[in-house]
Structure 1
Amino acid sequence: MNQTTRRSILKLATISGLSQFDLRNASAQSSDYKALVCIFLMGGNDGHNLLIPQSTAQFNAYKAARGSLALPDNSAKLLAITTPNGTPYALNDGLAAIHPIFAQGRLALVANVGNLVQPTSRQQFLQAAVKVPSNLFSHADQVVQMQTATPGGSGGTGWAGRTADAMNALNGGARFPASISMSGQQLFGTGNVIQSASLIPGYEMAPSGMNVWPATAAAARQAALQQILTMDSGLSIVQTANHVRQDAMTLSGMLSGLSTGTAFAKPFPSTSIGQQLLQVAQIMRLRGATGMKRQVFFCSLGGFDTHSAQGWQQWDLFKQLSAGMLALYQATQEMGIADGVTTFTESEFGRTLQPSGTGTDHGWGSHFLVLGGAVQGGDLYGAFPDLALGGPDDSGNRGALLPSTSLDQYGATLARWFGVADTDLDAIFPNLKYFPVRNLNFLA
């Protein structure tokens, strides 16, 4: 017997996650393609140093509260942007790669987004007069709740998975995954019907031991394997396992062919997030062969739990994020599907405006990025918060922002663009009905 290895277990787990698709029955053509690409900033991203106010009063309040973390510091520059109403802001210069896309009208910012049950004021929060999400400021709980839009727990499905459920009829009979995570199994893309597949970017799913010499021996091995996989054993569990193996081998061949064939005109970064987004782009390239018209993708970038040494660490993470987002956007332009792909950020929560030494503590609301050909960019959506410590937008006295835009409103705007009817949005986002604005209008 062959010894079981970690590699073989990973391979089996990867292949098992792909069991629902059948490339052999895929449609040859795919039109009206749309995809949502979530980049989850793990650890709780500090939105205060992502988007910095530049009007005199707000910038002075920002500097007074931020102390040593206020930008610009000795190692940072600010990237100026101006909204259509003339309000000046600036981006962290780690976002330099995507900064020009704001002026091109394809990058938008959504201010002070967070997990909410209903609109909540400072007074209501301090007096416990309204229901709020359970276990606020907890990484584990808020990661789940931001992926599921279920402020009181998990619910077992993700909001993107439920969104994919609502649109899955457009995929016809194609059994290629409508939801794929590049960052391990995640609730985000798991629906009641759709089950999220998990891929490891760059991971080889082809069977081992097939590249032997001479070529005739390799061909004989491959032929023998095909005979085993296609043999009718009469055992349903064996037939299913063989079917999964064939599908995984087919997908592996398609992906390896793309990776060794014509590269994208603009290279993707070699970083973890860059390679995750490269795998997303490669799968989008297969849309004609797979017949997919609606897909959701989940990627992640960790390291945002910046309790210390935040300045350089966050800048470096933003640099990785920005380069990856630009590469994917350029790839979608090259493929002619930029108008059909929207990339957006999420994080479990923001961080405190007031620093804690060289870092920050867990907060609540934060600012998110949305990029794509259909984005009505060059603007800031939602209400930029008051930055006074203990002020009207502070949940306490350290600048843990009370969100002014809910995850439900943010996600519903994305889902609506994806094609979900307004009448179906309340089933996907159960708390959307409590918010008067259902569409933030950052997507055309």
Structure 2
Amino acid sequence: MPTSRRDFLKTSVLASSLLFVPKFLHALDRQGLQSLADANGRRLVVVQLGGGNDGLNTVVPFRNDLYYKARPTLGLREQSGVLPLEKDLGFNPNMTRLKELYDQGHVAVLNSVGYPNPDRSHFRSMDIWQSGSASDEYLSTGWLGRYLDSSCPTCQVPYNGLEVDDTLSLAMKGDLRKGLALKNPEKFHQITRNRFIAQVSGEKPVGAVSELDYLYKTLAETSSSADYLYQTSKVYKSSVAYPTTEFGRNLQTTAELINSGINTRVFYVSLTGFDTHVRQQEQQGKLLGDLSNGLASFAEDLQKAGNFNDTLVMVFSEFGRRVTQNASNGTDHGTANNVLLLGGGLRQRGILNDAPDLANLLDGDLRHQLDFRSLYATVLHDWLQADDKAILGREFERLKGLV
């Protein structure tokens, strides 16, 4: 092997990143296709709200005096446009399109979701949510990555997962298999069509050099994956109007891949900017408008193509905010938060549990009603038809009749 080529494989950023590309996105693997069919073709789309979204100003307890006592200027009032739901709760005024989906029976709200001994660090709490660990447990794999590991251990090509982003989250990393991060199938395909990469991926190593063999194999499989994604993505181009934001574009890419018939089970999309210590109403309102409009366009896109009933969207953030506003018309890091579910296959809809108990706080923060791993267990077992106990490492009580 020429020195220049060896040096290229050692130093190229692309080659380095491709070492972490899984084997599961092979273009023509029939086992993978059969595995997808075995679970009735259902797919999960996880939307991460990075920064710690303020749940109390997302799903607003607009008839609770304690809410306004804690937030004399930041509290949202019904006359300011809060969108009434039920149980004296309402959506943020910027979530009008999501409210329409709620009224159609396509949205469920879970209040006060969290975990015991909560951590207020962005990084640690996000690791806990993404790995599915306890607060005193440190895992190097994610709950969706372990799903990819366990779903088809005997298949050469297991179920696949895509993160529509530049980097791969911990949530999508397993021991054996990992999701694939890409923003745009066409651009990803162009990168792998680089003349030198194409040449290397098409060659076969000579001799029993395992590391080089692995590099060759990874590059070859990645090129095949990129070609499959690009060719498949051309089947469907959306005619739905999405928000002209990065989040809107990423949801559009996700919808186009789903509607093109791509053999992918799990998608992961993020919307960041929710660390609202200062001037929260303007900042959060804009982000929630982007979330609401993006999800509504996404739902419309899938409905038109007949894929909405087989898709479940789960929206979460690493923690909520403190109940009491701070001196800068914002909120500081809190604990439990709401989780939104969206889809045509929901069996339970609306507000699914009690509103946050503002009279029974823990150190000024909400106490969690529901362990987030119970929700994970429900999604894994009842929606994705996977072994939730094996993936999460222990048994959690599942929510009955949710999906």
**TM-score normalized by structure 1?**
0.77
Where in structure 2 are the equivalents of 1:284-295 lying within 5 Å? 284-285=258-259, 287=261, 290=263, 295=265
Match for residue 195 of structure 1?
178
Structure-2 change in CA distance of 1:53 and 1:208 (3 Å) = closer
Match of 1:395 in 2: 362
Task: Give the one of 389, 394, 397 matched to 1:426.
Answer: 389
Percent of residue pairs identical: 24
Contact 1:204-1:252 at 8 Å conserved across structures: no
SS of match in other structure, 1:204: helix
Does residue 271 of structure 2 align to residue 271 of structure 1?
A: no
Cα distance in 2 for residues equivalent to 1:279 and 1:205: 13
Displacement of 1:287 in angstroms is: 4.3
The match for 2:280 among 293, 306, 310 is 310
2:255 maps to which of 260, 281, 302:
281
Q: Aligned to 1:113, what secondary structure does the other structure show?
A: strand
Question: What secondary structure sits across from 2:321 in the alignment?
Answer: coil
Distance 1:442 1:209 in 2: 42
8 Å CA contact 1:164, 1:178 repeated in 2: yes
Task: Report the secondary structure of 1:205's partner residue.
Answer: helix
TM-score, normalized by length of structure 2? 0.84
Deviates further, 255-264 or 411-420 = 255-264
* Alignment equivalent of 2:321, drawn from 327, 332, 351: 351
- Is 2:25 the counterpart of 1:25? no
**Partner of residue 124, structure 2:** 141
Change (3 A) 1:11 1:285: farther
1:53 Cα offset (Å): 2.4
Distance 1:22 1:304, change over 3 A: closer
Give runs of aligned pairs for residues 376-415 of structure 1, distance below 5 A: 376-387=347-358, 391-392=359-360, 394-396=361-363, 398=364, 400-415=365-380
CA contact under 8 A between 1:147 and 1:188: conserved in structure 2? yes
Q: What CA deviation, in whole Å up to 9, does each residue of 1:188-242 have, x standing for no partner?
A: 122344323222346723456979xxxxxxxxx79x9559714553455444434
Would you say the 8 A contact 1:307–1:361 is kept in 2?
A: yes
CA contact (8 A) 2:25 2:160 kept: no
Q: Is the 8 A contact 2:237 2:256 kept in 1?
A: no
Q: How does 1:209-248 map to 2 (within 5 A)?
A: 225=198, 229-231=202-204, 233-234=206-207, 235-248=209-222
Question: Paired residue for 1:218?
Answer: none
Secondary structure at the counterpart of residue 39 of structure 1 = strand
Change in CA separation of 1:267 and 1:233 when aligned onto 2, cut-off 3 Å: farther
One-letter identity of the residue aligned with 1:326:
A
Structure 2 gap ranges (5+): none
Check whether the contact 1:258–1:282 (CA below 8 A) recurs between aligned residues.
Answer: no
Per-residue deviation, 1:359: 0.5
Deviation at 1:374, TM superposition (A): 1.2
Larger radius of gyration: 1
Paired residues, number: 388
Residue 408 of structure 1 aligns to a residue whose secondary structure is helix
C-alpha separation in 1, matches of 2:100 and 2:172? 31
Deviation at residue 301 of structure 1 after TM alignment: 1.3
- Amino acid aligned to 1:442: L
What's the CA shift string for 1:77-96, capped at 9, x where partnerless?
211223xxxx3421012222
Structure 2 match to 1:64: 69
- The reply on whether 1:77 has 2:81 as its aligned counterpart is yes
Alignment of 1:20-59 (within 5 A): 20-21=23-24, 23-27=26-30, 31=37, 32-54=40-62, 56=63, 58=64
Question: Secondary structure of 2:172's match?
Answer: coil
Aligned to 1:364: 335
Cα RMSD (Å): 3.3
Q: Structure 1: which amino acid aligns with 2:333?
A: H
2:145 corresponds in structure 1 to 161
Are 2:93 and 1:110 aligned? no
Mapped to 2, the partners of 1:111 and 1:228 lie a distance apart of 49
CA contact (8 A) 2:377 2:388 kept: yes
Counterpart-to-counterpart distance in 1, 2:133 and 2:192: 46
Do the aligned residues in 1 keep the contact of 2:311 with 2:344 (CA within 8 Å)?
Answer: yes
Provide the rounded CA distance (Å) in 2 between the counterparts of 1:333 and 1:14.
35
Which amino acid letter does the alignment assign opposite residue 180 of structure 1? L
* Cα gap change, 1:39 to 1:338, in 2 (>3 Å): same
